[in-house]
Amino acid sequence: MKLDKQAKIYVAGHRGLVGSAIWANLKQRGYDRLVGRTHAELDLLDPVAVKQFFDEEQPDAVVLAAAHVGGIMANLRYRADFIYQNLQIQQNVIGESFRHNVSKLLFLGSTCIYPRMAPQPMHEDALLTSPLEYTNEPYAIAKIAGLKMCESFALQYGCNYVAVMPTNLYGPNDNFHLENSHVLPAIIRKTHLAKCLNEGQWAAVRQDLDRRPVEGVDGSASEEEILGCLARYGITPEAVTLWGTGSPLREFLWSEDMADASVHVLLNVDFADTYPARATEIRNCHINVGTGIELPIRQLAEKVIAEVGFKGELRWDATKPDGTPRKLIDVSKLHQLGWHHRVDIDEGIHRLYTWYCNHLQKS
């Protein structure tokens, strides 16, 4: 099924890391009837508000990129929030899409859906074959429910709902807040702040904290308060300390590549294309999206330190969890469907640090 240029497309989460990139990608392709709502304008946890939105807008297609996300620390601390909020968002948006006869829906999940010890690289068929990683189990279960909702609506009602599972994403508009950011933006910000402290650039430190306060500490705080706060996150003039051992292997995908893959699937891939034609049991119809290339977190951190130019030490706190040992995905289905990544990790780190430095003015 092709979406013509006049199709009205609702992008849920259009201000987020991936949603904003999908919005831009669609615009570049000539899709101008895009609909987005901020959280203040539309609370996706509110079923009445979501129904009213669909009643008023009647979108032809939906991209569900909205989610409650965070890193290991947030996933451990706010387990109920991660499962409840994501299930509620999915229930409301997918349910109203069905009730309003949306012709195409793209659901964005995460490769944390796969078992902790899944065979590597992880093929789509590894889903639900063994236990999940404990630290992000609630979030993973919510995302599994989302992809199974898409699959089930497609099988029972013939809906054209397709789910994509991206690997670790990074890029413009990333989350750099130290309390709940993902690994790569966290390493970039920690290293940037440590470099500024190391070089005595207090104006730059204060500018950074004014843009994104940490535990309520902003640029107006005393040097002693700032040093104490940042030290709790492993940031000192002498060293950057990161969680774990640095040994886990991770795969990273530039967010604008993810957006391009998502739009490719939205425009060119139907549900019937996501499983073998002669399958007797239709399941695991989701599509992995990534590069198929991994590297240790330690090597990633070393690349960031070289890019930022920090002259201090890199240290590891092995008392903190590493998370899943390895999370490489098999992207053969994606390649067969006609899409390959473009931005490698070195170029991506350079682009992201440049973006970060260019966006430090307080909004």
* Residues acting as catalytic residues: 139
358: nearest Cα among 173, 123, 108: 173
Contact of 108 with 262, CB cutoff 8 Å: yes
44: nearest Cα among 24, 21, 64: 64
Q: How far apart are CA 334 and CA 338, in angstroms?
A: 7
Q: Which two tokens stand for residue 112?
A: 């944390």
108: nearest Cα among 41, 17, 46, 226: 17
Helix, strand, or coil (residue 124): helix
Q: How far apart are CA 130 and CA 253, in angstroms?
A: 25
Q: How far apart are CA 18 and CA 38, in angstroms?
A: 14
Residue 166 CB-density burial (10 A; 0-12 exposed, 13-18 middle, 19+ buried)? buried
Helix/strand/coil percent split, the chain, to 5: 45, 15, 40
Q: How far apart are CA 278 and CA 154, in angstroms?
A: 17
Helix 79-99 and helix 47-57: axis angle, to 10°? Answer: 30
103: nearest Cα among 26, 161, 51: 161
Bridge partners of 122, per DSSP, are 329
SS (H, E, C) 173-233: CCCCCCCCCCHHHHHHHHHHHHHHHHCCCHHHHHHHHHHCCECCECCCCCHHHHHHHHHCC
The end-to-end CA distance of the chain, in Å, is 41
